[in-house]
Amino acid sequence: MRGMTTHFADMHISPFHRPGCAIALRGALGRPLRVALFSGNYDCVRDGANQALNRLVAYLLDQLGAQVRIYSPTAPRKAFESVGDICSVRSLSIPGRPEYRLALGLTRAARQDLEQFAPDVIHLSAPDLLGRQAQKYARLHGIPVVASLHTRFETYLDYYRLGLLRPAVERYLDRFYGESDHILAPTPPIAQDMAADFGAGKVSIWGRGVDPASFRPGLRDEGFRSAHGYAPDDVIPLFFGRLVLEKGLDIFAETVAQVRACGHDVRPLIVGEGPARGWLAERMPNATFMGHLSDEALGRAVASADLLINPSVTEAFGNVNLEAMASGLAVVSADVASAAALIAQGRTGLLAPAGDVAAYVEAVIELVTDREKRLAIGAAAAEAAACHRWADVLEDVARAYCHVLHIPLAVPVGQAA
């Protein structure tokens, strides 16, 4: 919702205190909780959604002692080392985007495996055919369904000239989330929207955390900067994420071009990989492309930049914004629900109207020319990001499981405001 002024750092989202969830679940069930997690591409693609799901599975296994079975397409080669027991479902690679796979639904083999596993809760993380059929299976067998929202799929259509399909897609998504027992929304604005559609008691917030070991201002490295041809006084704009058109690469490229045309000789740092790399490289021959990085190498590259430009409007949460903030960068982001929930305008970042290149250019030039403001925003951003702890946000999911299983907690599951 435009105009929202509530930010995660200002909210007491998760009032329930550990180890209550684990105790309540074990006490009520008399055995470990069994969770069937359905994913669109659990370890085929390294993105924020899949990283969050892997962290969730690790938390359920290690902290709650749960049994977890993951149903997902798999690729010949994993994009990263995943966590948990995966039942591979039949799938096809998407033409032109072979890293993504499309599940062919809940096949007989997967259905038999699910029946044998006998889950207490079915968690759906993607509104695809597999998720929809798993939802119908759950309804038939009286198994509660928790659905988590990770991506604004309806926003992708505009980037691929399929805008005419958006009303039909939105109706399908309404049915998918409406027929779930509980919805985990990533931000307060999205939670409010979904609560208005489906009822406040049906929606709670599952945000995201940040790893302070991987993303922190202390990883800034002048040696890294000089090794890639940047002088100490250079202001480095960063793009960080998958190189796909729906991340707003056109806005990023045009913004940088206009900033340079105004006499500011910035040279961007691009961290990430994807099928649009060649498209972007043609438009930004002066940029430094780092490709895919991980762990401390990723944190060092992010912290060694000076500001993030994130024009994406497809994010449900905005992990990139949070990780850049944790690294001490000033962020210029599209003014969408996910970013507005993280960024206090002018204090922990700058928000620009989505698609408004002139507004991005103005914000970037302001940060390039005003060092004190840039550093102040970066410091405030790092402080705000420190409030996003994985242990807290993962427990919110366990609390939702207790909620749909009618297992009482010391404090009820949070409802959308």
From CA 226, how far away is CA 219, in angstroms rounded?
15
Q: Do residues 63 and 25 touch, judged by C-beta distance below 8 A?
A: no
pLDDT of residue 172: 87
- Nearest-10 crossing angle of helices 371-385, 319-326: 110
Q: Cα–Cα distances in Å, from 93 out to 75, 243, 245, 384?
A: 9, 18, 19, 39
Verify cis geometry, omega within 30 degrees of 0, for the bond prior to 232. no
From CA 121, how far away is CA 35, in angstroms rounded?
5
From CA 315, how far away is CA 308, in angstroms rounded?
15
pLDDT of residue 9: 36
The total of other beta-carbon atoms located within 10 Å of residue 36's CB is 25
From CA 273, how far away is CA 250, in angstroms rounded?
16
pLDDT of residue 115: 97
Eight-state DSSP code of residue 414: P
Superfamily of domain 8-209+389-404: Glycogen Phosphorylase B; (3.40.50.2000)
Strands 97-103 and 91-94: antiparallel
List, as one string, the DSSP characters of 118-142.
Answer: --SEEEE---SHHHHHHHHHHHHHT
The sign of the dihedral angle between the CA atoms of 302, 306, 312, 313 is positive
- Residues 70-82 as b/e (b if ≥16 CB within 10 A, e otherwise) read bbbbbbeeebeeb
Domain 217-385 in CATH 1.20.970.10: no
All CATH 3.40.50.2000 domain ranges in the chain, comma separated: 8-209+389-404, 217-385
Nearest to 21 by CA among 403, 387, 417, 414: 403
**pTM score of the predicted model:** 0.80
Polymer length in residues for the chain: 417
Three-state DSSP class for 191? helix
From CA 76, how far away is CA 78, in angstroms rounded?
7
How does pLDDT run along the chain (417 residues), one tens digit per residue?
333 333 333 333 333 344 566 667 767 888 899 999 999 999 888 888 888 999 999 999 998 899 999 999 998 888 888 999 999 999 888 776 677 788 899 999 999 999 999 999 999 999 999 999 999 999 999 999 999 988 766 565 565 566 677 788 888 899 999 999 999 998 888 899 899 999 988 999 998 999 999 999 999 999 999 999 999 999 999 999 989 888 999 999 999 999 999 999 999 999 999 889 999 999 999 999 999 898 899 999 999 999 999 999 887 788 899 999 999 999 999 999 889 989 999 999 999 999 999 999 999 999 999 999 999 999 999 999 998 988 888 989 999 999 999 988 655 555 444
From CA 97, how far away is CA 105, in angstroms rounded?
19
Three-state DSSP class for 195? helix
Q: What angle do CA 28, 198, 103 make, to 5 degrees?
A: 75
